[in-house]
Structure 1
Amino acid sequence: MKKVEFNQILTDYKEVLPHGVFLTTKADGEINTMTMGWGTTGYIWNKNIIMAPVRKSRYTHQLIENSQFFTVSVPLNGQLKKELQFCGTKSGRNHNKIEELNLELLEVEECEVPLIKGNNLHIIAKIKYQQDMMIDNLAKDIVDKKYPEQDMHTFYYGEVVAVYQE
């Protein structure tokens, strides 16, 4: 793997990112990955930032609340579709996704949260800020369509500390 500049990935891959990526975190020795279908990147506080939304009901939420980092692994060439689908529909409470899918983890020097091997692009982020969504501040049409059970997200803003390409 080689390190690359964050700004380069924004330019080269902005069409690919919306197809689903692996969001991984680790706390108290437990690792979980989930499919993240949306998020955002930008430049805030003079830092490159990636924002990862995680619903409060998700097992990943429980882990990320007790972690300082998360990683995002991106399959740029359409690989790992079955794995993304599984990780987007099965809970880490009931499934050890890493074992069941035979996902290979890559350790990195920047943090204890691993990367998912077989993806082309990896982002390591250190959490700098988090914010729970407030239903009263969200447009009613979005609440009705996306949050009928009021299962809101927490937004995790992570400073990009490294980016790798496989």
Structure 2
Amino acid sequence: MNTFQTITAKEFDYNPFQLIGDEWMLITAEKDGKVNTMTASWGGLGILWNRSVAYAVIRKSRFTKEFVDGADHFSLSFLDHKTYAKELGYLGSVSGKDEDKIKKTGVTVNHEDGVPFIDEASKVLICEKLFVADMKPENFVLPEIDSKFYADKDYHYLYIGGITKILSR
């Protein structure tokens, strides 16, 4: 297991556009003693309700959604993309419903305050689930969003998590 230090949100000095959009993240949660994770490249960081928050979106078809829905907390793990590109790609394209994809990729699950995260990460956000909403087509202001990103009608759900801890190596 790797050694992490706890840092504050003010000390988390990373560009979220690069970190999430280019490096990607793993959304990880536990349900009934089983852990699942998925790669995501859409999300963000900010301030809401006077708290540091992270948000992520998960399509309704994703197996990981069941885990995040069944948990009070989830984590966002950021791995070095150059080193773990193959694993990140696999974890984002194969369903944990069909196989133990965590075991197959060789990444390690660790826990912080009872919340699972991926130990190979360089940065981890431990999040308390605060808000969930489904993205409905009638709420898109620009109609091309629906036709461009949701032709198959597999809409995302928006998850907002209050960041309770940040781990960094």
Question: What TM bracket, shorter-length normalisation?
Answer: over 0.9
What is the aligned counterpart of 1:122 among 109, 124, 134? Answer: 124
C-alpha distance in 2 between matches for 1:39 and 1:125: 13
C-alpha distance in 2 between matches for 1:44 and 1:76: 28
SS of equivalent residue, structure 1 residue 93: coil
- The equivalent residue for 2:74 is 70
8 A contact 1:76–1:121 mirrored in 2: no
SS of equivalent residue, structure 1 residue 61: helix
8 A contact 1:105–1:114 mirrored in 2: yes
How many Å apart are 1:77 and its aligned residue? 5.7
TM-score, with normalisation over the residues of structure 1?
0.93
TM-score, with normalisation over the residues of structure 2?
0.91
- The equivalent residue for 1:97 is 101
How many Å apart are 1:13 and its aligned residue? 3.4
- The equivalent residue for 1:141 is 144
Amino acid corresponding to residue 72 of structure 2 in structure 1: Q
- The equivalent residue for 1:16 is 19
8 A contact 1:42–1:49 mirrored in 2: yes
What is the aligned counterpart of 1:159 among 157, 162, 165? Answer: 162
| Residue ranges of structure 2 left out of the alignment (5+ in a row) | none
- The equivalent residue for 1:38 is 42
Tell me the percent identity.
Answer: 26
- The equivalent residue for 1:150 is 153
8 A contact 1:121–1:165 mirrored in 2: yes
Amino acid corresponding to residue 120 of structure 2 in structure 1: G
Stretches (4+) displaced over 6 A: none
C-alpha distance in 2 between matches for 1:32 and 1:22: 10
